[in-house]
């Protein structure tokens, strides 16, 4: 079936897969085109006080994540924020691909982001333009349009290793595919489960992601670490390259 304007079929999947579609955000919010811009740095204190989420949404989000995790390490907060946004983009796109067999064009100028909100109230797509749901198209929609510039920006601004960030992208993809397949099997949608598994495997074969880890069935083991173990009280994630947290220096 073709995409409906509201992407209503995503709602049963839960908030992480839901996208506000065909409507403007309830208040001015930056687009992801703004988020990916490398040319600006930290906003001045006066601008931060007036509208920090608008003037520098990435810095705002990194500070918010760092405060929530209780970590003083900006690099750790930046990595976790990067993986969280990657997971949202993959979840929305894979959900549409598996349920509709179409995906919406998530062109950065059309996709608004609220860095102060949790899903589903963080993403607003102003127009829905259907695209094919093959791995090549999805790679363009998510990897080329969003994750490549986001990875470059986070690396440049927060000095997080590029390989680690692409590991985050692959981990987020594998997790989104695994959750979608699990939902489909619980609801007797074997067709959706098969599409989710096939697309996840195909996308993990993309040159950007193919060297980041190993997929076995639905289990993914990455070759890098997102740095969550450095969060106070944190440990290693289920797909981490480490079996136990390394000793911090």
Lowest mean pLDDT among 39-48, 89-98, 196-205, 218-227: 39-48
Quickly state the pLDDT bin for 38 (edges 50, 70, 90). Answer: low
**Paired tokens of 134:** 């093959």
pLDDT tens, 61-87?
999 999 999 999 999 999 999 999 999
Q: From CA 82, how far away is CA 65, in angstroms rounded?
A: 10
pLDDT at 54: 83
Quickly state the pLDDT bin for 248 (edges 50, 70, 90). Answer: low
Domain parsing of the chain, residue ranges: 8-213
pLDDT tens, 197-221?
999 999 999 999 999 999 999 999 9
Q: From CA 137, how far away is CA 219, in angstroms rounded?
A: 24
CA 185 to chain centre: 23
Bridge partners, 222 (sequence order): 213
Among candidates 89, 90, 91, which has minimal Cα distance to 32? Answer: 89
Lowest mean pLDDT among 47-51, 162-166, 226-230: 47-51
pLDDT at 2: 82
């Amino acid at each position: 079936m073709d995409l409906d304007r509201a992407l209503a079929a995503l709602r049963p999947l839960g908030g992480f897969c839901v996208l506000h579609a065909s409507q403007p955000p309830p208040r001015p919010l930056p687009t992801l085109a703004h988020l990916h811009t490398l040319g600006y740095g930290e906003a001045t204190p006066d601008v931060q006080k007036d509208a920090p989420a608008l003037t520098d949404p990435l810095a705002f989000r990194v500070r918010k994540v760092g405060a929530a995790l209780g970590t003083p390490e900006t690099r750790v907060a930046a990595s976790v924020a990067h993986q969280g946004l990657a997971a949202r983009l993959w979840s929305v796109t894979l959900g549409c691909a598996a349920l509709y067999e179409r995906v919406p064009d998530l062109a950065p100028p059309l996709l608004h982001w609220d860095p102060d909100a949790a899903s589903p109230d963080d993403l607003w797509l102003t127009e829905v333009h259907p695209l094919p749901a093959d791995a090549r198209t999805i790679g363009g929609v998510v990897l080329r349009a969003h994750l490549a510039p986001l990875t470059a920006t986070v690396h440049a601004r927060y000095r997080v290793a590029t390989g680690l960030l692409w590991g985050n992208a692959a981990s987020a993809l594998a997790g989104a595919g695994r959750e979608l397949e699990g939902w489909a099997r619980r609801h007797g949608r074997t067709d959706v489960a098969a599409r989710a598994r096939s697309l996840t495997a195909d996308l993990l074969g993309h040159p950007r992601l193919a060297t980041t880890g190993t997929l076995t069935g639905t289990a993914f083991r990455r070759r890098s670490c997102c740095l969550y173990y450095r969060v106070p009280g944190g440990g290693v994630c289920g797909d981490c390259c480490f079996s136990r947290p390394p000793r911090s220096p």
